[in-house]
């Protein structure tokens, strides 16, 4: 069903090794680009969840939750580039 709706969709699940079935070289090669993509996308979520406490949301209404999420994302972006901004300020 998914293939019919999105024929260009790719499988982004990792191949997993078990105790008696280690990964083959081909499976490791398939996992490498997936890991690179995920590694670039994960740090903002770490900042949002750990620093700003956005683990769970209470029911406040869709607009309030969306507003809080947007503000948190903006603050996370500022937090991640804080060193670069401070260097520019000192120059």
Which pLDDT tens digit goes with each residue over 10-44? Answer: 766 777 888 888 888 998 888 888 888 888 888 88
For residue 70, the SS3 value is: helix
79 vs 72: CA distance, rounded Å: 10
Give mean pLDDT, residues 51-79.
86
pLDDT at position 47: 87
């Amino acid at each position: 069903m998914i293939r019919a709706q999105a024929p260009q969709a790719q499988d982004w699940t990792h191949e997993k090794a078990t105790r008696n079935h280690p990964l083959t070289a081909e499976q490791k090669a398939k996992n490498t680009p997936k890991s690179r993509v995920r590694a670039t996308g994960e740090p903002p979520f770490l900042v949002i969840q750990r620093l700003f406490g956005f683990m769970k949301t209470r029911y406040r209404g869709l607009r309030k939750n969306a507003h809080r999420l947007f503000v948190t994302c903006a603050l996370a972006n500022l937090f991640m580039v804080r060193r670069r901004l401070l260097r520019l300020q000192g120059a």
